[in-house]
Chain A
Amino acid sequence: MFDFCNVFIMLVLIIIMAYPLYFIVIASLSDPYKVINGKVYLWPADFTLDSYINVFRESSIWKGYYNTIRYTFWGTLFNLALTIPAAYILSKKKLAGRKFLSFYFLIPMYFSGGLVPTYLLVNNIGLMNKPYTLIFLGGISIYNLIVTRIFFQTSIPEELYESASMDGASHFRVFFQIAMPLAKPIIAVMALYYAVAHWNSYFNALIYISNDAYQPLQIVLRNILINNQMLLVGMDTSALSADEALAAARRQYMAQGMKYALIFVSSAPLLVAYPFVQKHFVKGVMIGSLKG
């Protein structure tokens, strides 16, 4: 009975949640004016692939993908290397200086010097506009750190550590061989959080990267969108031929619908990769851990 209700609720929820997503799909394939006039409900109206074509005609998009994949991969590794051990340490109630460390990490979550000093710092240490800039700037998210710490505290019992250290295991061994394997779910979650943050990041690249070769996907996509939307603004239109004016006007008109297509262009890779990460959330990962 319970299961039946549950499934029913889930179905209703899925429909409500999925409709807007479905709408985005069909809107990206429709004429923008039909979309805005509410003519698009279940099917695309005036089917067209122009929105996608206009995005992919810009060759810069492949560089954008390449850079973003690179930043996401290395950046996430860097984030995890900082966050996981730190969260583990913070979860150890008996460690001397733990309270101090907790405050140490908590304060920057609220107090920040702002953009100007950070910019000056990045400039001074020579991190401006380099291929690895965006990898290092991701750093550590205090929020994620705290959530990971909670996980270590609640999901891994103290007895496990005690029994291991009584066996003579060093702290490193305990961490790497006992805690880490048990922390797979949270590592997977954090990897996902950080990866998505890298993938969607925009502002840091805007401020610190001026070289085309290092621009990530989000910057490239927004440029494409803005470019198409403002094709005729501030332009020397007196030099346009009739055909050119027509082509430009058409593209500007299509750009109004381009933002729907961009959702797919920017998130499709993530959505495709997601199922591989998901298997870590399955029940029963902890089977057999509490023996001894």
Chain B
Amino acid sequence: MKTRLRSLISLLIGTSLLLSACSQSPQSAESSAPPVSSAPASQSSSESQSQSETAAPEETYDYTDYRAHSQFPLTKQTPLTLAVRRDPSYGADWEDTWFWNWMKDKSGLEFEIEQVLPAAVADRKNLMFASGSLPDVLIGFSFSTGELVKYGQTEGQLLAINDYITPDIMPFLSQWFGDYPQWESSCKAPDGNIYSLPCFNAYTPGNSERFFWNTTWLKDVGKEIPSTLDEFLDVLYAFKEKRPDSYPLGGGANGDDPRSYILNAMGFLGTYTGDKGYNIALREGEIVIPGGDPVYKEYLTIMKQLYDDGIINPSFFSMEKTAIDAMIAEDKTGAIPIYPYLATPEVEKFSQWESGNPLTSKWNSTPQWLAASRLIIGGCVVTADAQEAETIMRWLDFFYSDLGGLYMWNGPASNSEDCMGLTKGFTIREDGSSVYLDVEDKTYESNLVRNYQQMMGFFNVFGNRSNAVGEPETTQLNIMQRLYGAPIAETTYDMSNGDQNYRYSCLQHMTPYEVDKFPYIIYFDEETNTIVSDLASVIQPFIETETAKFITGIRDINEFDTYLSELKSLNFETYLNYYRNAWSA
């Protein structure tokens, strides 16, 4: 259509913005018709290009105009009422934030917001539903799938939003679901309705489970980062021989638990909490629970050996989290399942650590690693009695556009008139990184504080926190660069930054093996949920305790078969089948 003209105008606009900071934005010639997005092939190559590259390739909509990303202004007869989670320490009153002031100005809606502390969220949520005094929208209340089914499907107090996800009412969200149909089906409750708005996360290396090796220790024993289970054991024992007072495999049952790394090596692809052995995992594409699988015996044998030989701390099951971290700080361990800089903030110390590789073993020949889920649900719900639901949905669609996703948490570019004098916005430096001017001039002590005080108040709860719509390879930083009018630059990692250090390491070692086909989100209808939770409350502690007993030798491993039949008598098969049926449905 007019794409060439549009891109020319955008180029001009972009250049002029670069030349004058915080200038008035020129009249955008385009109307606010919902954009048709395309995924230009040039996007992915722009990542590796040098920084002298000029501004973005084909623009599909004007980045500087909020109307291209939303349907503002909207009209609603009654105020939009919200209950919103707020950060305990840094959260500001919503009326003092840039975000809600901007929103009041541009959206044409009136807002009434109640802010709730995280500690009160669980109780208030139940009370609000029980008392029937509900706002239109709840944000940040962490609805579990059980609660979505209960309040949505059974009680009918949540709005089924699927009928509203159309190109007319919610163009951006529809497009996301169009591009990722598997995410759309993950959002559906058993009755086929969607009761919660999704959150799309960026792919960030190092967000999934992790495992790190101390390279100094490896050098001392002349070994490499292991790739098989046998090598893994070999290295640990070499560590122990060189340093008899150490506990080479760090972590503990009450903090970050390293056992999942071993379970993973044996073919159980699982989530973070898969370590105690009672959560679901995938084995060759099928849902299993490690604690009830025959291969678990081999795992127990290995763990027991590690316990007996002092490879893991004898207080593994009773140590508090602080003690677990202390081991790292005291250099008493060489392999850990926690982000190194959290235990040892000093650069010299955390630089020693490098990410491990997923292992193979004689029970599993594919090195694989479970990626963190990019879809989160339960962060934002609309209540069934909300007035003028369609308008509300049109408002919510804004958060799935590029600008909306950015404005929620980062705010406007410093050269945008959206600053409204309430925030100084962000600038893109020469090297492509971003900086908030309010932090640079010390109005706020850190990015975190600044974002909580000026923005919507939470991160990764709903909306688009991922790439640009229809462009999988772009990052949030790229969107910021585009908004500011700076060249799209590739993400760099500063190795002296504890956070970026480990992420880079994970990018090298784990990312190539990451797999994301997994039952991240499981729904049960209410009756099944009751049965399952009762079974879980018996089976889970049983597996947890017996595992600990086998590992510490209180119970003899030869009794494993007895253990399996005890598990069976607790209705283990039924319990497992509920999960299997839920995923295939």
Contact = CB atoms under 8 A, between A and B. Distances in A.
A224 B115 CA distance: 17
A239 interface: yes
A226 B89 CA distance: 9
A219 B343 contact: no
Nearest to A247: B446
B103 interface: no
B345 interface: yes
Interface string A214-253: 0000010011101100011011111111101111111011
B325 interface: yes
Given A116-B130, A236-B409, A36 B326 contact: yes
B323 A37 contact: yes
B325 A33 contact: yes
Interface residues of A, number: 44
22 contacts: A32-B322, A36-B322, A36-B326, A37-B323, A58-B89, A119-B131, A120-B131, A212-B93, A223-B119, A227-B89, A227-B90, A238-B476, A240-B497, A242-B494, A242-B497, A242-B498, A246-B345, A249-B342, A250-B345, A256-B321, A256-B322, A257-B322
B124 interface: yes
A222 B88 CA distance: 9
Interface of B: 87-90, 93, 114-120, 123-124, 126-127, 130-131, 133, 204, 320-323, 325-326, 329-330, 341-343, 345-347, 409-410, 434, 446-448, 451, 459-460, 476-477, 494, 496-500
B88 A249 contact: no
Contact of A253 (B90, B342, B446): B342
A207 B124 contact: yes
A242 B350 CA distance: 12
B204 A238 contact: yes
Given A206-B123, A235-B459, A116 B326 contact: no
Contacts of B90: 227
B205 to A, nearest CB: 10
Given A206-B123, A246-B345, A60 B89 contact: yes
A210 B116 contact: yes
B124 to A, nearest CB: 7
Contacts of A58: 89
Contacts of B325: 33, 253, 256
Nearest to B480: A239
A115 interface: yes
A32 B446 CA distance: 24
Contacts of B126: 116
Contacts of B342: 232, 249, 252-253
A54 B126 CA distance: 33
Nearest to A238: B204
Contacts of A244: 446-448
Nearest to A212: B93
B550 to A, nearest CB: 27
A37 B497 contact: no
B557 to A, nearest CB: 31
Interface string A20-48: 00000000000011011100000000000
Contact of B127 (A116, A223, A232, A247): A116
A123 interface: yes
Nearest to A256: B322
B499 A210 contact: no
Nearest to A119: B127
Interface in A162-200: none
A254 to B, nearest CB: 10
Contacts of A241: 447, 497
B506 to A, nearest CB: 13
A92 to B, nearest CB: 41
Q: Which interface residue of B323, B326, B410 has the most chain A CB atoms within 10 A?
A: B326
B496 A36 contact: no
Q: Which interface residue of A119, A224, A249, A250 has the most chain B CB atoms within 10 A?
A: A249
A123 B322 CA distance: 41
A249 B477 contact: no
Contact of A36 (B320, B341, B345, B347): B320
Given A120-B131, A245-B499, A234 B459 contact: yes
Contact of A226 (B119, B124, B320, B451): B119
B511 to A, nearest CB: 15
Contacts of B89: 58, 60, 223-224, 227
Nearest to A241: B497
A222 B496 CA distance: 32
Q: Which interface residue of A60, A219, A246 has the most chain B CB atoms within 10 A?
A: A246
A245 to B, nearest CB: 5
Contacts of A250: 345
Contacts of B118: 226
Contact of B343 (A35, A116, A253): A253
Contact of B119 (A119, A206, A232): A206
B127 A115 contact: yes
Nearest to A206: B120
B323 A36 contact: yes
A240 B499 contact: yes
Nearest to B132: A120
A234 to B, nearest CB: 6
Contacts of A120: 130-131
Contact of B131 (A35, A123, A223, A224): A123
Q: Which interface residue of B204, B409, B448, B496 has the most chain A CB atoms within 10 A?
A: B448
Given A116-B131, A232-B342, A207 B123 contact: yes
Contact of A33 (B87, B329, B447, B451): B329
Q: Which interface residue of B89, B90, B476 has the most chain A CB atoms within 10 A?
A: B89
A124 to B, nearest CB: 9
A227 B322 contact: no
Contact of B451 (A115, A236, A256): A236
Q: Which interface residue of A32, A33, A212 has the most chain B CB atoms within 10 A?
A: A33
B566 to A, nearest CB: 36
Contacts of A240: 447-448, 497, 499
Contact of B498 (A223, A235, A249): A249
Nearest to A120: B131
B40 to A, nearest CB: 24
Contacts of A249: 341-342, 345, 498
Given A58-B89, A226-B88, A244-B446, A236 B459 contact: yes
A207 B124 CA distance: 7
Nearest to B130: A116
B497 A239 contact: no
A227 B120 contact: no
A245 B119 CA distance: 25
Contacts of A123: 131, 133
B160 to A, nearest CB: 26
A210 B114 contact: yes
B373 to A, nearest CB: 14
B496 A210 contact: no
A253 B321 CA distance: 11
Contacts of B117: 206, 210, 219, 223
B115 to A, nearest CB: 6
Given A37-B330, A249-B342, A249-B345, 6 more contacts: A116-B126, A206-B117, A223-B117, A253-B325, A253-B343, A256-B321
A115 B434 CA distance: 48
Contacts of A32: 322, 326
